[in-house]
Amino acid sequence: MASDNRYSINFTLSVLEKTEASKLIKEHEKQEHIEPYGYILIIKKAALLVLSFAALFDFIILVGLIALAPKDPDYVERAKFLSIITFTLIAIFIVLLYIYDYLMKKVMRSNYSSEIRNPELMLRLKINRSYIEQIMKIGSSRVFWNNIKKTYRKQGFLFIQTKENRCIIIPERVFKNEEETEKLYGFVKEQIAQNTME
């Protein structure tokens, strides 16, 4: 933090924070895709594979009931067996999705502290009366106040939303106290109000 009209904030958002913040954003235009950690992606792919087999078995049953049932009286018994297989595959799919979700949350929580300290992902925000500048190792971008639509605070995050429905997310944990958070929030609201009147 700096003076009353210039702010400089350095922070890194963890995957857990990005996930939580994306659920809190009021208007969605583009959702960030967060790639699962290593082996957890295998569970998701296995779940989708199991679901596709269940759909295939269901299709076979349907075709069989339409085409074969009138000609083959034993087909209904075989269809019952295929229905049990389909139900089992769908149950496995649901269980795999729950395992995937559980492991993803567990890994996000365990990696949280190392991710927020990662200098490679560090984001530096410079906020002044003219613009907001986002600076990362890979590059920087500026958003001028006349392109900012609104700002709001929700569950530990400060959101600054552009007219294109993109959000600049600042976790409140980077501020020393509530007063500092409220000061920046007030400054952002003031700049938005001034630039919407012009």
Q: Are 79 and 134 members of one domain? A: no
* Overall number of domains in the chain: 2
CATH number of domain containing 135:
2.30.29.30
Per residue in 59-73, is it b (16+ CB within 10 Å) or e — as a string? eebeebeeeeeeeee
Q: Are 70 and 132 members of one domain? A: no
Which pLDDT value is given to residue 137? 85
Q: Are 193 and 126 members of one domain? A: yes
Q: Are 126 and 192 members of one domain? A: yes
Provide the domain limits for residue 64.
40-114
Q: Is the dihedral of CA 188, 190, 196, 198 positive or negative?
A: negative
Domain presence at residue 1: no
Domain presence at residue 2: no
pTM over 0.75: no
Mean pLDDT, consecutive 10-residue stretches, the chain (198 aa), reads: 73 81 66 61 82 83 72 73 83 89 86 80 87 87 89 89 86 89 90 78
Residues 26-42 have pLDDT tens digits of 655 445 555 556 677 78
Q: Are 14 and 52 members of one domain? A: no
